[in-house]
Amino acid sequence: MKKIIKSLYSKIKKIIRIDKSSDEVKKLAIGKLITKKNKLKKIEKIEDIEFKIFSQFGDDGIIQFLIDKLEIDYEFQNFIEFGVEDYSEANTKFLLLNNNWSGLILDSSNENIESIKKSNFFWKFELEAIKCFIKKENINSIITNSNIYKKKIGILSIDIDGNDYWVWKEINVIDPLIVIIEYNSTFGFEKKISIPYKQDFERSKAHHSNLYWGASIEALKFLAKQKGYKFLTTNSAGNNAYFIKEKIFDKIKLNLKKNTYQSKFRESRDKSGKKTFINYDKRLNIIGNLEVEDVETNKLHKISELL
């Protein structure tokens, strides 16, 4: 990987004069080159197109691939992203800086939002940042009261580590072409389950392990079908799922050897808040007695009874 980056960087220096003080400029230049290279690839697995510039994992590459294949018109070049923290790692930041899309970003921390508003990119691009704690009761009004409302939305990205399923289910004031939503692979790949809706849900307070949050991939597929979307793939890190509007899905023409991935990152905590680095097969032992809701039957079950 280091050899690839070194090779790319040498090419970049021949194309543009890089400001050595700007890491952001370097990242953008590398991202542009990888994006062009990916267009020439024969894609067999999602890892073939993944790359990370500002996303947490390889989502920048997936998003660049999709907007190219779907040939998204200018009027749809708008995004909404939930749970961006300070926007240093986000699914839409490369899209903003590289492709000049307009966007709305939301986070519950006033400190994070103020930091974003003081950034150099905030005035350079059409970006709205709102401080709010997202609930199904307020999400539609937040969107309708924003500057981006009435614009056509190309991408909606949801990552709130909790009521993700219920918030997406409630949204009815926009109709994005692509939805990127985080799933909890600890909940397995067979059952349509989510945490039960709780208005003030906070992941770290719900259970010390940080493993009890969100919904399974099958629950999200179930909801997506009702909303007129088809499942395409997850990222290889096993945390973000990609859904495309049915009417444009066939434009992608992508046959992947594998579509769904299990997460391997180890973010579990003990009661004191320290990371325990527990592997996938041991996670359920920690949260087995907690309840989840079957989103198809609306019945509550203990996790250990289902998985």
Q: Record the tokens describing residue 14, joined without a space.
A: 């021949």
- Phi/psi of residue 278, nearest 5 degrees: -80, 135
| Position 115 confidence tier, pLDDT thresholds 50, 70, 90 | very high
pLDDT of residue 5: 52
Is 13's pLDDT higher than 90? no
The mean pLDDT of the chain is 93
How sure is the predictor about 299, in pLDDT bands with cuts at 50, 70 and 90?
A: very high
Query: Residue 17: is it exposed, middle or buried by C-beta count within 10 angstroms (0-12/13-18/19+)?
Result: exposed
Q: How confident is the model at residue 17 (pLDDT cuts 50, 70, 90)?
A: very low
- For residue 180, list its beta bridge partners: 157, 242
Calpha distance 54→37 (Å, rounded): 18
pLDDT at 20: 45
Report the share of the chain in percent with pLDDT over 90: 87
pLDDT digits (tens, 9 = 90+) for 184-237: 999 999 999 999 999 999 999 999 999 999 999 999 999 999 999 999 999 999
Q: Is the pLDDT of residue 271 over 50?
A: yes
Q: Determine the Cα–Cα distance for residues 181 and 220; give it in Å rounded to an integer.
A: 8
Count helices and strands in the chain by DSSP H and E runs? 13, 10
Task: Return the domain boundaries, the chain.
Answer: 41-306
pLDDT greater than 80 at residue 18: no
CATH architecture of the domain with residue range 41-306: 3-Layer(aba) Sandwich (3.40)
- Between 4 and 165, the more confident residue is 165
For residue 194, the SS3 value is strand
What pLDDT shows up at residue 3?
A: 55
Residues 74-104: tens digit of each pLDDT? 999 999 999 999 999 999 999 999 999 999 9
pLDDT at position 21 is 46
Give 279's pLDDT tier (boundaries 50, 70, 90).
Answer: confident
